[in-house]
Amino acid sequence: MPTLVIGAGLIGSQVARILVERDEKPVLMDPAAQIQAIGQIVDLAKVTLIGGDVLRPLSIIDGLRTHGIDKIVHTAANPMLTLGAQKDPYAAINLNIMGTVNVLEAARVTGVRRVVVSSSSVLNHYLEGGADDGDFGKEEAFPRPTTFYAATKQSVESLGLNYARWCGIEFAGLRYGAAFGPWSGSGGGGPSNIVREAMRNALAGQEATVPPGPMEWVYSKDAARGTVMALDAQDLGNRVFNITMGSVTTPSEMATGIAEVVPGAKVKFDAPPGTAVALSNRDTGADLSRAGRYLGYTPAFKLHAALQDLAHWMQRHPV
């Protein structure tokens, strides 16, 4: 039975590629599929594209029933992630929270057992509070998200865990790091677009701009690999997993990495306009031990390998 991949973008297209490589024919649902960009990642003849929308729950149910789906990967999110949510909170809340609820509810009513949902490592960083040490009787017992996007992802995880507890859904929430990788289409988060633009400029002999603060990244191929592992895992254990490179990258490390991949590249440190919220300071990498124990995940692409793979891909697919 096929897997439904919702959101055929930076990570969703890579999930589809992995499924195709093991002789499956996934169904990709995207209301505005970018055919050319998807076709650069996965053979379009080996996938089924449908145009459903997570904000139209009956379209999800129709897709599940029409194609006999038994597993779902949900990667759709609001445009530009943190930055987009800060600019248009209502749209982000509606798409991220209600869109995910629609997916989970469609799975419940149609009997689909496993749903793997994209969460975010923003929940490892954009938090404040927790001063009452988890004392249930006190108002600040738990940390709270400090951005709209992080708040939506906390809600997604909590709702998914309750669908698992009360409705029998095999839910997994994956906290991806800031993702970058092969993708020529629009969309993606601010950090992923910054890395893509930096590599494009470096390859063209122009000055590349690197964010001035440390970041925790994940290569899109690793994010997709971890996602497929969550589809396959017999025991999901904790149900929420960090999927990152497992370490924080400093600006100088990113600059050095680009220069190693593109000898002679000129790199400057600067925050592109409007990115201050998205590029928080991060000095502690995510713990990957649960992802390793339950999913078998360890990152295949550390920074150098990821940048090298991205450069090779961009040279084959110039934009």
Q: What residue ranges do the domains of the chain occupy?
A: 3-316
Q: Which residues contact 182 (CB under 8 A, 6 or more apart)?
A: 14, 40, 41, 220, 221, 309, 310, 313, 314, 317
Q: Quick one: CA dihedral 266, 269, 275, 277, positive or negative?
A: positive
Helix axes 303-316, 190-203, angle to 10 degrees: 70
Is the CB of residue 248 less than 8 Å from the CB of residue 217?
no
Instruction: Give, in order, the Cα–Cα distances in Å from 21 to each of 3, 90, 99, 213.
Output: 14, 38, 29, 37
Which conformational region is residue 242 in: left (phi greater than 0), alpha (psi within -120 to 50 degrees), or beta? beta
| Per-residue model confidence (pLDDT) at position 279 | 43
| Per-residue model confidence (pLDDT) at position 282 | 60
* Beta strand pairing call for 3-6 and 27-29: parallel
The single-letter code of the amino acid at 194 is I
Q: Determine what percent of the chain falls in helix, strand and coil, rounding each to the nearest 5.
A: 45, 15, 40
End-to-end CA distance of the chain: give it in Å, rounded.
Answer: 36
Measured between alpha carbons, how far is 85 from 149 in angstroms, rounded to an integer?
6
Of 57, 62, 63, 55, which is closest to residue 28 (Cα–Cα)?
63
CATH of domain 3-316: 3.40.50.720
What is the pLDDT tens value at each position of the chain, 319 positions in all? 899 999 999 999 999 999 999 999 999 999 999 999 999 999 999 999 999 999 999 999 999 999 999 999 999 998 889 989 999 999 999 999 999 999 999 999 999 999 999 999 999 988 888 888 889 899 988 899 999 999 999 999 999 999 999 999 999 999 999 999 999 998 878 888 999 999 999 999 999 998 888 899 999 999 999 999 999 999 999 899 999 999 999 999 999 999 999 999 999 988 765 555 444 546 678 999 999 999 999 999 999 999 999 999 999 998 7
| Per-residue model confidence (pLDDT) at position 270 | 81
